[in-house]
Structure 1
């Protein structure tokens, strides 16, 4: 259930019987022909789909993340690492004050990895609170399912081209793009990265069949739900 569809009294009642909560972490950045908000959209969607039968509240996604390498693409918003870490700490402080003791930061963007270190720092002084940092897209079973369809699938490929992220007025090519050279990308500035990547897809099929898409998504839901259920010790 979404926090946006609850009031504080309902949340207080929930906390009498459960102390789990989910905060999706996203990013607003280029995704080739797909929505600029792919990472935010998918993080919230997988959180809601996985949490629904468990009744765990889901906060609105944190929309902005760490993405300096895409700064040459219009629309990308980058948050400095030090700023992002402080935001994560503030979010955790607030959730703990509310009474949540098992917190899942469900991440949809690879650049947000510093949040994992921020959590480790925070839990040093809050050992009574359990916090999970979970990347839904590269969890073992989900990633294996993606690789079984296309081993080169990556950023802005079919694995992110889903009904909630594609745009009616910007159809994706029906082809497979050669995989990007990550070693080259690692030393490029944002302007060089844009020139190298072109439309922004990192490689792989731009789209696959609806059956393949939904099969992958169902694996992601099941795997994510297992994380929410625990164990938490």
Structure 2
């Protein structure tokens, strides 16, 4: 259930019986022919879909992340790492202060992975809380399903092309784009990165069947629910 559809009294009543919550983390950045909000759409929808049968509230997505490499593409917005990490920790502090103790940061953007270190640092100051930082697309079962379907998958390729990230009236190329040299990409300025990437897809097909995408989606949902229902203090169990 979305916090947007609740009032404070309903949240207070929820906290009398449960203290779990999800905060999606995303990014507003180029995704080739897909929505600039792809990472936001996917992280928020996975969080909402996974949490709905469990009755766990989901906060609005943190829509801006760390993505300096894409700043040569119009529509991209990046935060400085210090800013982003401070925002993450302020969100955690706010949630703890109002009664949440088990918090999942459901991340949909590779540049936001440092949130894991921010959460660890924060838990050192708040040992009564548990934080899971879940990078949904690279989680073991989800990534295994992606590789099973097509091992050539990457940023802005078919693996992010769901019905809810496509844009009406936008046609996608039908060819398979060769994978970019990721080591080279990491050494380039934003302008040179755009020259290398061209449309922004790192490599792979631009679209696969909805049947394939539904398999990935269900795997991702199951993986999130397993974490939400698991032992937060010992995730090996």
RMSD: 0.7
Per-residue CA deviations over 1:25-83 (Å, capped at 9, x if unaligned) read 00000000000000000000000111111000000000000000000000000000000
Residue 50 of structure 1 is matched in structure 2 by 50
Pairs within 5 Å for 1:170-189: 170-189=170-189
Q: Which runs of 5+ in 1 are unaligned?
A: none
| Contact kept in structure 2, 1:162 and 1:213, CA below 8 Å | yes
**Following TM superposition, by how much is the alpha carbon of 1:171 offset from its aligned partner in structure 2, in angstroms?**
1.8
3-state DSSP class of the match of 1:204? coil
CA distance in 2, matches of 1:172, 1:34: 9
- TM-aligned CA deviation for residue 223 of structure 1: 0.9
CA contact (8 A) 1:150 1:205 kept: no
Displacement of 1:186: 1.3
5 Å-filtered alignment, 1:1-233, equals 1-233=1-233
- Helix, strand or coil at the partner of 2:137: coil
Render the CA deviation track for 1:152-176: whole Å, top value 9, x for unaligned.
1000011110011000121211221
TM-score, length-scaled by structure 1: 0.99
**1:182-231 deviation per Cα after TM superposition (whole angstroms, max 9, x unaligned):** 11111111100000000000011110011111111111111111111111
CA distance in 1 between counterparts of 2:211 and 2:2 reads 28
Runs of 4+ in 1 over 3 A off after TM superposition: none
TM-score by length of 2: 0.97
Instruction: Give the total of aligned pairs.
Output: 233
